[in-house]
Structure 1
Amino acid sequence: MAEPEEKTPAPPQRPGRGTHLLRWVVGIIVGICIILFIASFFIDEPVRRVIEKKLNTHLVGYTVRLPGLHVRLIGFALTFKGLTIAQKAHPAPPIIEFPILKANVHWREIFSGKLVGELTLIRPKVHVNLAQLKTEVHSNVPVKKRGWQQALEDIYPLKINHVLIKDGDITYLDPDSKLPLRLGHVNFEADNIRNIHLPDRVYPSNFHLDTTVFDSGRGTVDGKANLLAEPVPGVKAHFKLEKVPIDRIKPIIARASLSIQGGQLGTDGAIEYGPKVNTAQIRNLVISGMTVDYIHSAATAAAENRRAAMARQAAKKLSNRPGLLLRMDQMNLTGCTFGMINRNKAAPYRIFISDTNLHLSNFSNQFSQGASTARLTGKFMGTGTTQATAAFRPEKQGPDLDLYVKIDNTQLTGMNELLHSYANFTVTGGTFSLITELHVKNNAVTGYLKPFFKDLQVRHERKGPLHRLYEMLVGGVAKLLENRPRQQVATKADISGPLKSPQTSTWQIIVELVRNAFFKAILPTFEHEARAVKR
């Protein structure tokens, strides 16, 4: 039997030239990467110093601190650590804090043949207090000349095409409030900022924002933008707010002589702002459970006049302004209370409407949008069933208003503060009702106010003879004016004549009606008898 032949092993093949070249190339690339990686740690500090110095040079009115920076030469990336920007006038707290800010090449756009950058901000914080805000507003240096654009170029030399913010925080600290106004968990993303794609579109860049509002509310904004538009950037977006607690702005509106308690807000709408278009539309605004009081006093009188003048100027400027459309399709207020507190009297008083439901529709600054209408129901002084309707149009040649109000069976005992303040007496029983109709057009007003007093009972106490005589006169006048079949006292005040000022706004007319004509019509005989007793 023949033994099998042993096979001679083939000699090892030597690598060809191509394999040697590939190994050399890979080795060189790996070596360069290692060198760049090691070099990154040696150039961190010099680059940090240069960037911090440049930022402080270009930003006017601010101080920049950059404690840490890491340069990643592979990928041309920078990571900023602990970057803060403080206002020189009020350095504490810093206006902006960036715990982590990353700038690198936007690699996705490399395939489009574009070399651009992207920014990623992780947990950034913005702090603003009243002192800092006033400094910003009253600064003589325009925003465009404060160096923000140059500072962005100092941070990263490539044009930024994509921005991503993760879990940001914006806080306003008011000196009169224990709780800050805070937008928390802010997430924002915008792409195609440099208009690489869709350059012919009016708004080529998409963006999204979501945040918590005052801790318990929620807000979202989705839209498109053209951030390179001239002379101003263009934005078109939809917004939505849900469950926003209104009373968190209490310290701010207190400076306008307003007191607010409770309340929750929700709304949605759209805005468009650009070189040629300026529109803001609220589709639906809902406010529930809010109590608001306007507080009038001698100390606030001068400020009230200034605010009224500013409101007149603003209304005149915005009314029927070409190219500007402000519109609210619907507003619904449910379960609210609106009041006025007058502390500018020897005997202060408060009048209010509780359980108020208000529906306002088609409110606009443009006459071409048609009439706005309002319907209100509530309880005057907590007991008087109240109904009101109104129609008004944006002023073109002066205010244009139709108003109808009816109040039934308000318990007079709940109005004792008012009665005592105006006529220096109190009642133990009776009801008050009112019907009023008011028309304003062509700078003239017409209408009437008709109050009714029923079963009026004046309090008789052990007081001086002069006061007892006064109470007797009040009761006597009520008897003389009594409507026997209905056992009620009625009078009527006609209103007619030109407006005192053609520039008076619709809202001012309504306020003046409440502050002046209303009270004079309610207590005409009481005021007359009060003067007679004093004589």
Structure 2
Amino acid sequence: MVEPKEPAPRDTRHGLAVPKVLLWIVGIMVSLVLIAFIASFFIDEPLRRTTEKKMNQSLKGYKVRLPRLHFSLIGLSVTLKGLTITQEAHPEPPVAEFPYLRASVQWREVLSGRLVGDMRVDGPKIHVDLQQLKSEAASKVPMKQKGWQQAFEAIYPLKINLLKITDGSLTYIDEDPKRPLKLTHLNLSANNIRNIHLPDKVYPSDFQMETDIFGTGHGRVEGRADFLAEPTPAVKAVIELAKVPIAYFAQLAARSNVRIEGGVLSASGDVEFGRKVQTARLKNLNINGVRLDYIHTPETARAEARRAEKVKRAAKEVSNKPNLVLTIEHFILTDANVGFINDYGGKKVRLFLSDANLYLDNFSNQFSKGPAKARLSGRFMGSGVTEATATFRPEDKGPDLDLYLKIDNTQLVSLNGLLRSYGNFDVTAGTFSLVTELHVKNNRVNGYIKPFFKDMKVYDRRQDKNKGFFHRVYEMLVGGIAKLLENRPRDQVATKADISGPVQNPRTSTWQVVVELIRNAFIKAILPTFERDVTALGKRK
């Protein structure tokens, strides 16, 4: 008796039987996936050790630690967790930490016949301090021979065509660990790194980057690039910075004798860096509320001279350099306090301009761009109303400058520090004003400087009662001379000193100032009176 065959499974929705062959195929595929999934875990540890070893063999001066790695046969991907890179000379803290890094085949490009990879990095932390930088600078091994590219290739064999970084951070610590320079929430995306698409374009790859800067600031860079260009990648991008606190640069600025307090920076512009063209254009650069001092001491005089010479050489190199265009279209400095501190022999004198506002337009290294124009206003020593204008061009046939400066009614008591240091006296009343005009062209300078001292009172018994007898006599003499030198109709001491000569050695003689002072005040005001009195005395005899 023949037993009846079991009916084939049917699809209840369509009333169709599912062939056994199809079931076998599905079962085999599921089994293969499970086997691959389980097998990948047995591959992980040997592959982790191999990857860590290859990376350490490639790097010079640095060491890698890779605690966890997972390889997936299904997606042909590799995931690294807890990767750290340390500098052998200064291992703490690590220079780089990668909590999560995943590299895989970029399957979209496989369909077009190209085998490349993509990489995703979450929460990376880059940390560099001054000691590590000094160690790197002292190393005899060039950066190109450190083995970074080989170590990177040890992670994943395919060329990376797409890179995404999320929530990264970059920290630099100079001398004060409490004031780090830190970029946080850094996000970066770069596509078509291998120039697969648009190979004929000058900049075939696109990229975007955003980050928070020093806590309150924000920055964005967006553009296109050729990452494979030789000898260095080519880039064309727009840049935006907002509310960046510049006091964080105080440690770096201190090395150049500059002290910075407060201040916020915002800027927008674009850059292009390629083989044939290098341009950097700042459309707007705004700095608000900064206090900035340049500090001069005898001990730093030589270093200052060396820096000045370097700046001079650098300016000369970029001035009108072909294929290099540097431009600041609009620079605005508002609500600033800018000063010069002369610190010597235990005496410290600060000259400053408060409530300073500077507007600079069309500043460039190219003579063909036309003249730059600047306007400055503020209060000299907190009281003297100051206004200045300047027009200048990059060097073509030598410096080219026109400068006008006027300072009105500076309270002389604010200059007592200067008077004590250089004249060994101080004042109790009076005002100081100044007018100057300078023109520099064809390697010559022409102009004048005209200072005014009005109602100057040097000696005051109540203020000077605690000073020594001889010092009080000295101040009385200085005050008496000042009164003698006053131009009686206007009750002020004034002079005009001409400045002229070649730029290399302009004739700004102190003796000329003294002679003009005597000529203006003594000869014109005092001498005629003296001669009249002598003549009258002779007639009486």
TM-score (norm 2): 0.89
Structure 1 pair 135/480, CA: closer, same or farther in 2 (3 Å)? Answer: same
The answer to which of 139-148 and 396-405 deviates more is 139-148
**What is the identity, as a one-letter code, of the residue corresponding to 1:436?**
T
Deviating more after overlay: 445-454 vs 18-27? 18-27
Distance 1:10 1:349 in 2: 111
Q: What value does the CA root-mean-square deviation take over the aligned residues?
A: 2.6
CA contact (8 A) 1:269 1:283 kept: yes
3-state SS of paired residue (1:302) = helix
CA distance in 1, matches of 2:46, 2:87: 25
Give the whole-Å Cα distance in 2 for the aligned partners of 1:437 and 1:33.
85
Match in the other structure for 1:222: 222
More deviation, 18-27/112-121: 18-27
SS of 1:434's partner is strand
Residue 314 of structure 1 corresponds to which residue in structure 2?
314
Q: Specify the SS of the correspondent of 1:47.
A: helix
- Other-structure match for 1:142: 142
Aligned to 2:116: 116
For the 8 Å contact 1:412–1:427, the answer to whether it is kept is yes
1:287-309, CA deviations, whole angstroms, 9 ceiling, x for partnerless residues? Answer: 01111011111222122112112
Q: Using a 3 Å threshold, how does the CA distance of structure 1 residues 519 and 178 change in structure 2: closer, same or farther?
A: farther
Q: Which digits, 9 at most, give the CA deviation of each residue in 1:279-327, with x for residues without a partner?
A: 1110000001111011111222122112112111211121111111111
Distance 1:251 1:428 in 2: 39
Partner of 1:401: 401
Contact 2:320 2:394 in 1 (8 A): yes
Deviation at 1:254, TM superposition (A): 1.1
- Residue in 1 aligned with 2:488? 484
Q: Distance in 1 between matches of 2:514 and 2:178?
A: 44
Which structure 2 residues correspond to residues 33-72 of structure 1 after superposition, within 5 A? 33-72=33-72
AA matched with 2:153 = E
- Determine the structure 2 residue equivalent to 1:158: 158
Distance 1:230 1:423, change over 3 A: same
Deviations 1:48-102 (A, max 9, x none): 1111111111112211111111111110011101111111222111111101101
After superposition, the C-alpha distances for 1:352-388 in whole angstroms (9 at most, x for unaligned) are 0000010001111111111111000000000000000
Matched, 1:496 2:500: yes
8 Å Cα contact 1:293-1:341 kept in structure 2:
yes
1:347/1:420 contact within 8 Å kept: no
Identity of aligned residues (%): 57
- Please give the per-residue CA displacement for 1:202-248, whole angstroms capped at 9, x wherever unaligned: 11111111110001101011111110112221100001010011111
The CA distance in 2 between the partners of 1:423 and 1:364, in whole Å, is 42
Q: Which moved more, 1:374-383 or 1:466-475?
A: 466-475
Q: 112-121 or 461-470: which moved more?
A: 461-470
Task: Please give the residue correspondences for 1:193-208 in structure 2 after superposition, counting only pairs within 5 Å.
Answer: 193-208=193-208
Aligned to 2:442: 442
Q: CA, structure 1 residues 375+345, in 2 after alignment: closer, same or farther (shift >3 Å)?
A: farther
Report the residue type matching 1:68 in the other structure: R
1:470 maps to which residue? Answer: 474
The 1-side partners of 2:239 and 2:379 are apart by: 34
What amino acid is aligned across from residue 12 of structure 1 in structure 2?
P
Asked if structure 2 preserves the Cα contact closer than 8 Å seen for 1:451 and 1:521, the reply is no
AA matched with 1:471: E
Q: How does 1:358-437 map to 2 (within 5 A)?
A: 358-437=358-437
Measured in 2, the distance between the counterparts of 1:32 and 1:311 equals: 68
Q: Is the 8 A contact 2:444 2:503 kept in 1?
A: yes
Retained in 1: the 8 A contact 2:387–2:405?
yes
Provide Cα deviations, 1:471-491, integer angstroms capped at 9, x if missing partner.
233223322332222221101
**Does the 8 Å CA contact 2:495/2:516 hold for their aligned counterparts?**
no
Q: How many residues align?
A: 506
- Distance, in Å, in 2 between the alignment partners of 1:251 and 1:28 is 66
C-alpha distance in 1 between matches for 2:130 and 2:23: 65
What residue number does 2:524 align with?
none
Tell me the secondary structure at the aligned position of residue 500 of structure 1: coil
Q: Deviations over 1:451-498 (max 9, x none)?
A: 001111112434455434432332233223322222211012211112
Contact residue 346 and residue 421 of structure 1 kept, 8 A: no
**Are the equivalent residues in 2 in contact too, given 1:449–1:518 (CA < 8 A)?**
no
Check whether the contact 1:451–1:522 (CA below 8 A) recurs between aligned residues. Answer: no
Q: State yes or no: 1:239 paired with 2:239.
A: yes
Q: Distance in 2 between matches of 1:247 and 1:95?
A: 25
Partner of 2:259: 259
> Which amino acid counterpart does residue 211 of structure 1 have in structure 2?
T
Question: Which residue identity does 1:144 align to in structure 2?
Answer: K
Indicate how the Cα distance of structure 1 residues 487 and 449 shifts in structure 2: closer, same or farther if over 3 A, else same.
Answer: same
Task: Give secondary structure in 2 for the equivalent of 1:112.
Answer: coil
Alignment-derived partner of residue 528 in structure 1: none
Alpha-carbon distance in structure 2 between the residues aligned to 1:257 and 1:177: 20
1:420-439 C-alpha deviation (Å, 9 max, x unpaired): 11111111101000001112
SS at match of 1:140: coil
Gaps of 5+ in 2: 11-15, 519-541
Conserved in 1, the CA contact under 8 Å of 2:212 and 2:218?
A: yes
* C-alpha distance in 2 between matches for 1:362 and 1:19: 79
